[in-house]
Structure 1
Amino acid sequence: MTKLELPIHTDRLVLRRFEAGDLDAYHAYHSLPETARFLPREAKSYTQSMEMVGRYANFEFEKEGDWVCLAIEAADSPGLLGEVVLKWMPGCGQAEVGWSLAPEARGRGIGREAAGALLKLGFEELGFHRIDAKLDALNTASAALCDRLGMRLESTQMDKWHYKGQWATEVVYAILAEEWSARNAGA
Structure 2
Amino acid sequence: MPDIELPVLTDRLVLRRFEAGDLDAFYAYHSLPETARFLPGPPKTYTKAMEYVGRYANFVFQKEGDWLCLAVEGRDRPGLLGEVVLKWLPGQGQAEVGWSLAPEARGKGYAAEAAGAVLDLGFGELGLHRVEARLDELNTASAALCTRLGMRLEARHVEKWFYKDQWATELIYAVLAEEWRAEDVPVSGGNPMPGP
User: Which gives a bigger RCO, structure 1 or 2 (Cα 8 Å, sep 6+)?
Assistant: 2
Residue 106 of structure 1 pairs with residue 88 of structure 2: no
Q: Which amino acid counterpart does residue 19 of structure 2 have in structure 1?
A: E
Aligned to 1:174: 174
Aligned to 2:81: 81
- Percent identical across equivalent pairs? 73
In 2, Cα distance between equivalents of 1:34 and 1:55: 23
In 2, Cα distance between equivalents of 1:158 and 1:59: 33
In 1, Cα distance between equivalents of 2:127 and 2:68: 15
In 2, Cα distance between equivalents of 1:72 and 1:49: 16
In 1, Cα distance between equivalents of 2:146 and 2:182: 17
Say how many residue pairs are matched: 187
Aligned to 1:62: 62
In 1, Cα distance between equivalents of 2:52 and 2:66: 15
Residue 27 of structure 1 pairs with residue 38 of structure 2: no
Other structure's SS at 2:78 match: strand
In 2, Cα distance between equivalents of 1:124 and 1:50: 32
Alpha-carbon shift at residue 184 of structure 1 (Å): 1.8
Aligned to 1:146: 146
Aligned to 1:9: 9
In 1, Cα distance between equivalents of 2:113 and 2:89: 23
Alpha-carbon shift at residue 165 of structure 1 (Å): 1.3
Aligned to 2:191: none
Other structure's SS at 1:125 match: coil
Alpha-carbon shift at residue 168 of structure 1 (Å): 0.4
Q: Which amino acid counterpart does residue 89 of structure 2 have in structure 1?
A: M
**Unaligned 5+ runs, structure 2:** 188-196
Q: Which amino acid counterpart does residue 88 of structure 1 have in structure 2?
A: W
